[in-house]
Homo-oligomer: A and B are copies of this chain.
Amino acid sequence: MPAPLVTEQKLRFCDTDMLGHVNNAAYAELFEAGRVEMLAPLGLLRGPHAVVIARLEIDFLREMNWPGEVRVETEIARIGTKSMHVRQRLLVGEDVTGRARSVLAVIDVETRRAVPLTDAWREVLARWHIPDDNAA
């Protein structure tokens, strides 16, 4: 039964900016923290292949303030031939503070060109695969 990968992150003081709240780029860092925790066990961050991000969409739903702990939920929305779509949420307590959708491609580190997703990767990714129609 596919389920989101959950990772706990901690806000850092330097995530804040002069507006007093957590800066928007920190949301991008926290979403990335969730994605890489999913991809690392696939060997997709070291070795002959690497995952690159092609597109990132973030909805900033609520301000976040330091101090705080953030729960990052990461799911695979779509597994394509050479790319995958990732759906994510940030939560502080019960509040959803942000949502993201990203498109990732796997490249050959030498040639920097996209390569097809292997069956082995697909099999692992299926663990977190919740198609858009089934998403909460």
Residue in B9, B17, B36, B52 whose CB lies within 8 Å of A60: B52
Residues of chain A at interface, number, CB under 8 A: 40
Nearest residue (CB) in B for A35 is: B13
Q: Does A136 contact B (CB under 8 A)?
A: no
Q: Could you tell me if A13 and B28 are in contact, using CB atoms closer than 8 angstroms?
A: no
Shortest beta-carbon distance from A1 to chain B in Å: 26
Within 8 A of B (CB), among A1-28: 8-10, 12-14, 16-21, 23-26, 28
Interface residues of A (CB under 8 A from B): 8-10, 12-14, 16-21, 23-26, 28-30, 32-33, 36-37, 40, 45-46, 50, 52-60, 63, 66-67, 112
